[in-house]
Structure formats: C-alpha cells, structure tokens
C-alpha cells in the first residue's frame, strides 16, 4: 500500500535515515540502507527486497507510481521540492530520488552452494574498505555470472550507500554473506572441492591466462593498499596475477575483478 506525504520541513523522525546519510554505519546497524539515483531506486522497487520509503520530487512520484502501487508492503512516499531535498541530504542531487530499503537476511553458504548451478563461481573480499570499489566489484559479479559474494569481517558492507550506488542495484539480487571468518570459510570451500584462487599481483609468475577457472571456484580479492592478508593467502589453493607492464604495481580491485570474472566466464563459454 502506498501512502503519499508532502513535506515542507526536515524535522519528522521518519526522515532520519535520509538526514543521516553520511553516517552510513549507523544505518547498517539498524539493518537499513539508502538507495540513490533514478535507476538504482527503480531497480530496488523491482526487486524482492523490502522497501520502507521513498523521498523524491513530484515528477518522479508520477514516474514510479506503477511500481509503487504494486508493492506488497506499505511504503511512504515523501514528496518535496528538489531544493528542500538537497537541504535534507546535505549535498547537491542530480535527480533527487532516494529510497530506504531493508538489508535482507544473510543466506546460508550451504544453501547457496546447493542452489547454484555448476560449475559454481563465487567471489570473496578481504579487507576491502572502499565502498565505491566494493560496489563496482558487486556490479562486475552481476555482469559475469558470479553466484555469491563472501565479505570478510574486515571489509565494508556492500549495503553502504556508496556501494549500493556503485553496484547500480546488482546488490539487490546477489546473494551476500557478510562478516565471515574468511580463512575458515576458504578452508570449508576447499573441503567441498571448490578451488580458491587468490587474486594477487605478486603471484610468482602464475598468470591468469595459465589458470583453470572452468570448474567450481572462488576468486578472492584483497585491498589495494595491502592486498590479501598472509593468513588468507595461505588458505587459498593458488595465487594468480594479471600480467601488466612493469611500471604498474597493481590494478584497482574493481578493474582486477572485471578481468578475473571475464576470464572465468570465457573459460566457461559464457562470453
């Protein structure tokens, strides 16, 4: 059911998630996230995730009305002029479209593996703190058929606003397990005959093109600054690098993930 409420003030407590957009970790603790931008909000409304509210100008309410009216839950649409919305959020907005959704319950790894068609392709991140880079990696997961993302307890959440925006809504459909003990999870995957490959720029000559990614595997990425921790690296079956010019030390993790996922998809006949 859709409720429409025009706002002329920023005071109502229900608007707190929009007022505190810069305090994203507080929102994550509450189990909610903010979607930003016309395409991302539209994809949220088209998804199975629970939507709490939308905040938008009148013109966008008309655009979204068919989607909003078919949603099963009660959603409040807060309508205001774009200038007021920019005062509320604290920054300039191109489209002025925002929504609050609920973070879905974490799926079970065993259930993911049972449901995923073979050959399975998983991804994992270790110590990845940049939300934009994490969102880009999520978007690449969607582009190349990755079936689930495993996020270490040392990484940012892919449901932070900037990560959601960078993922362009792919996060609404990708199974994600957050806060895991990554070395222990890697050992569990290997015990189930899922090969774990570390994306490591200093992989002692092992090149991506020489690596078999056609079977069940999980590709593990680290942060740009420090890469993978020694414990995670030692837990993997193999460490693999993307060959590049000697002057370049490493790739941005978003770029590296696209290269690895493309190669996995190519070997599987998906591209």
Mean pLDDT score across all residues of the chain? 90
Question: If you average pLDDT over each of 19-23, 36-40, 258-262, which comes out highest?
Answer: 258-262
pLDDT digits (tens, 9 = 90+) for 201-245: 776 667 898 899 999 999 999 987 778 999 999 999 999 988 888
Domains, the chain, ranges and CATH? 2-102 (3.30.1330.30), 109-267 (3.40.1280.10)
Q: Which two tokens stand for residue 153?
A: 């307890």
- Which pLDDT belongs to residue 141? 98
Mean pLDDT of all residues in 136-157: 97
Task: Identify the CA nearest to 34 among candidates 43, 50, 21, 48.
Answer: 21
Task: Identify the CA nearest to 166 among candidates 8, 17, 15, 36.
Answer: 36
How many CB atoms neighbour CB 157 within 10 A? Answer: 20
- Which pLDDT belongs to residue 26? 78
- Which pLDDT belongs to residue 256? 93
Strand order of the β-sheet with 32-36 is 2-6, 75-79, 51-56, 98-102, 32-36
Mean pLDDT of all residues in 245-271: 88
**pLDDT at 270 > cutoff 90:** no
- Which residues, in sequence order, are CB contacts of 245 under 8 Å at separation 6+? none
Mean pLDDT of all residues in 119-136: 96
Mean pLDDT of all residues in 18-31: 76
**pLDDT at 94 > cutoff 60:** no
- Which residues, in sequence order, are CB contacts of 197 under 8 Å at separation 6+? 211, 213, 217, 218, 219, 220, 236, 237, 238, 239, 240
Residue 22 pLDDT grade (very low, low, confident, very high; cuts 50, 70, 90): low
Specify burial of residue 36 (Cβ count, 10 A radius: 0-12, 13-18, 19+).
buried
| HEC per residue, 74-126 | CEEEEECCHHHHHHHHCCCCCCCCEEEEECCCCCCHHHHHHHCCCCCEEEEEE
pLDDT digits (tens, 9 = 90+) for 43-92: 999 999 999 999 998 889 999 999 999 999 999 999 988 777 777 666 55
- Which pLDDT belongs to residue 88? 67
Specify burial of residue 101 (Cβ count, 10 A radius: 0-12, 13-18, 19+).
buried
Look at strands 176-180 and 51-56 and give their pairing.
unpaired
* pTM summary value: 0.92
- Which pLDDT belongs to residue 93? 58
Question: If you average pLDDT over each of 91-95, 178-182, 238-242, which comes out highest?
Answer: 178-182
Helix 253-267 and helix 131-143: axis angle, to 10°?
Answer: 10
Output the CA–CA distances (angstroms, integers) from residue 243 to 59, 69, 97, 198, in the order listed: 49, 51, 41, 15
pLDDT digits (tens, 9 = 90+) for 184-202: 999 999 999 999 999 987 7
Specify burial of residue 193 (Cβ count, 10 A radius: 0-12, 13-18, 19+).
exposed
Mean pLDDT of all residues in 163-183: 96
Task: Identify the CA nearest to 149 among candidates 47, 218, 237, 227.
Answer: 218
* Selected residue with higher pLDDT from 19 and 214: 214
């Amino acid at each position: 059911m859709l409720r429409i409420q025009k706002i002329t003030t920023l005071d109502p407590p229900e608007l707190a998630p929009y007022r505190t957009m810069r305090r994203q970790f507080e929102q994550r603790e509450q189990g909610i996230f903010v979607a930003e931008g016309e395409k991302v909000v539209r994809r949220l409304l088209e998804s199975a995730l629970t939507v709490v509210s939308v905040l938008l100008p009148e013109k966008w309410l008309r655009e979204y009305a068919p989607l909003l009216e078919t949603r099963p839950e009660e959603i409040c649409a807060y309508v205001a002029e774009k200038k007021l919305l920019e005062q509320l959020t604290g920054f300039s907005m191109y489209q002025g479209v925002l929504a609050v959704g609920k973070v879905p319950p974490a799926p079970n790894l065993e259930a993911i593996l049972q449901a995923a068609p073979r050959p399975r392709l998983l991804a994992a991140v270790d110590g990845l703190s940049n939300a934009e880079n994490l969102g880009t990696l999520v978007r690449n997961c969607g582009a190349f058929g990755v079936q689930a993302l495993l996020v270490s307890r040392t990484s940012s959440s892919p449901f932070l606003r900037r990560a959601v925006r960078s993922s362009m809504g792919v996060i609404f459909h990708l199974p994600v397990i957050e806060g895991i003990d990554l070395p222990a999870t890697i050992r569990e995957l290997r015990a189930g005959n899922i090969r774990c490959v570390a994306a490591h720029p200093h992989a002692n000559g092992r090149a991506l093109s020489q690596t078999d990614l056609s079977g069940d595997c999980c590709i593990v990425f680290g942060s740009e600054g420090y890469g993978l921790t020694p414990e995670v690296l030692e837990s993997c079956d193999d460490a693999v690098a993307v060959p590049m010019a000697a002057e370049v030390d490493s790739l941005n993790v978003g770029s590296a993930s696209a290269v690895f996922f493309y190669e996995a998809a190519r070997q599987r006949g998906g591209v």
